[in-house]
Amino acid sequence: MPALNINCNWKLAVENYCEAYHLPWVHPSLNSYSRLEDHYNIIFDQFAGQGSHAYNLSDVAGTHLPIFPSWPQDRLRTAEYVAFFPNVLLGIQADHAFAMMLEPIAPGKTVEHLRLFYVGDEALDSRFEAARDAVMQSWRVVFAEDIASVEGMQKGRHSPGYGGGAFSPEMDLPTHFFHQWAARQLLACAQSV
């Protein structure tokens, strides 16, 4: 997938990745096979984000790719999406994973580099080509949908009506965790100067 040039600060891409409540409005197709109400928060040390108990693209798209050998059989629909601080967005499902590296170019510009990974050489077989294409297309749509959101967030930061925003005590816990982490890094840099 080609790199995506985004007009936003890299931290807004992380912030957007850490919460799931934009799914119904920004990602209606994703929300059809990984619904908002099936998500849970993930917060752990150096990463934070969302998990889903009910990721089921394979049912929607008819895709059946090889799965990770040690993946728990009772969690085949579990998927997790975490921002590994500072700038890598990870996603893992039973049959594929992806990593998006955020490259800060300027305070308001970021380049997103995406790599998609399947399970074993078998997954590269031609009989799985349609399944791989369905997975790639699904993420291509999702990441394209996020561009308008994060660029809108960037513009919003410059609005005279922007007053700092508010965190949801329920749904913004991973986002708040990231902000605290980022603030600690900035304070440590400032104190070392």
Binding region for Fe ion (CB under 5 A): 146
Smallest gap from Cβ 177 to Fe ion, in A, equals 18
Burial class (CB in 10 A: 0-12, 13-18, 19+), 50: buried
Nearest to 80 by CA among 20, 166, 32, 134: 20
Smallest gap from Cβ 85 to Fe ion, in A, equals 18
Smallest gap from Cβ 131 to Fe ion, in A, equals 23
In one-letter notation, the amino acid at residue 149 is S
Smallest gap from Cβ 45 to Fe ion, in A, equals 23
CB closer to Fe ion out of 29 and 56:
29
Angle, in degrees to the nearest 10, between helices 173-192 and 10-18: 150
Nearest to 59 by CA among 120, 134, 128, 121: 134
CB closer to Fe ion out of 143 and 177:
143
CB closer to Fe ion out of 66 and 135:
135
Taking CB atoms, the residue at the shortest distance from Fe ion is 146
What is the spatial order of strands in the sheet that 4-6 belongs to?
Answer: 4-6, 109-118, 96-106, 88-92, 79-84, 47-52, 39-44
Smallest gap from Cβ 183 to Fe ion, in A, equals 23
Burial class (CB in 10 A: 0-12, 13-18, 19+), 187: exposed
CB closer to Fe ion out of 80 and 146:
146
Asked if 82 and 90 count as a contact pair (C-beta separation under 8 A), the reply is yes
CB closer to Fe ion out of 146 and 172:
146
